[in-house]
Chains A and B, each alone.
Chain A
Amino acid sequence: SQELEQSPQSLIVQEGKNLTINCTSSKTLYGLYWYKQKYGEGLIFLMMLQKGGEEKSHEKITAKLDEKKQQSSLHITASQPSHAGIYLCGADSGGSSYDKVIFGPGTSLSVIP
C-alpha cells in the first residue's frame, strides 16, 4: 500500500522567514494534495498537483511535484503567523481506488512574531 512521509515533523520559524515542507511517496503519485489543518476549522484545501514537474502558487505558498511524481515540496515565502498550523499532504492511491486519499503524518508549523 502507498505510504506518505513528511519532513520535517515540526518547524518553528521567525516571521518573515522562508520555509519548505517535503512530502515523499513510496509509489508514483497520481494526484497530490496539500491541506492545512487548524483546530476547529477543519482541513483547508490548498492545492492539487497531478503532472510531473507541475508547480502551483497561491498567495505566498508554492507547491511543486517532481518529475518522477514521487515527491512534492511546499514552500512558504515570508512566513506570517497566519501560516501556522499543520500541513498535510494527501495522495490519490491510484488504480481502481482512485477516489480515496491517504495522508502523510503532517508537519506542524509555528511562526513566531
Chain B
Amino acid sequence: DAGIIQSPKHEVTEMGQTVTLRCEPIFGHNFLFWYRDTFVQGLELLSYFRSRSIIDNAGMPTERFSAERPDGSFSTLKIQPAEQGDSAVYVCASRHRSEYGYTFGSGTRLTVV
C-alpha cells in the first residue's frame, strides 16, 4: 500500500500563474479532504468530497481556489491565479466510509514568488 500520493511534493510558481495540485487517495476511500497548513493558523479544512460530490467547500479562502474529483478517485486542487499568501503546505487526506481514522498524505509545499 503506497499510501496517499500527492504531487508534486514541491511547487514554486510566480504570482498570477495557475497551480494544480493532485491527490491520489487510498484505494476504496470514498471521503477525500483537502487541508492547508500555513504553520501559523494550523491545519485548515478547505473542502472535502464523498465520492465525486463536494460535501463542503466553505473553507476555500477565495474563488481562486477550486477542487474537483471527477470520477471519485483522484482529486485536484487548483489555484488560479496564485498569490504570495497562498504559500503553504497543502495536505490531502482520505477515509473509508465505515472506518474511523484518516490517512494523510505528506503534502505539497507550495511557494508563490
Contacts and interface: CB of A to CB of B under 8 A. Distances in A.
A and B held together in a complex: yes
Interface of A: 31, 33, 35, 40-45, 48, 88, 90, 97, 99-106
A24 to B, nearest CB: 15
Contacts of B42: 88, 103-106
B102 interface: yes
10 closest A-B pairs by beta carbon, nearest first, are A43-B104, A42-B106, A103-B43, A105-B42, A42-B104, A45-B101, A48-B100, A42-B105, A100-B48, A106-B42
B104 A97 contact: no
A104 B41 CA distance: 9
- Chain B CB within 10 Å — which of A42, A44, A45, A90 has the most? A42
A86 B102 CA distance: 17
Given A45-B104, A99-B95, 19 more contacts: A31-B100, A40-B106, A41-B106, A42-B4, A42-B106, A43-B91, A43-B93, A43-B104, A45-B102, A45-B103, A88-B42, A97-B56, A99-B31, A99-B48, A99-B55, A100-B48, A101-B33, A106-B42, A106-B43
B50 A99 contact: yes
Contacts of B33: 100-101
Given A42-B4, A43-B91, A43-B93, A101 B45 contact: yes
Contacts of A102: 45
B107 interface: yes
A42 B41 CA distance: 17
A97 B101 CA distance: 16
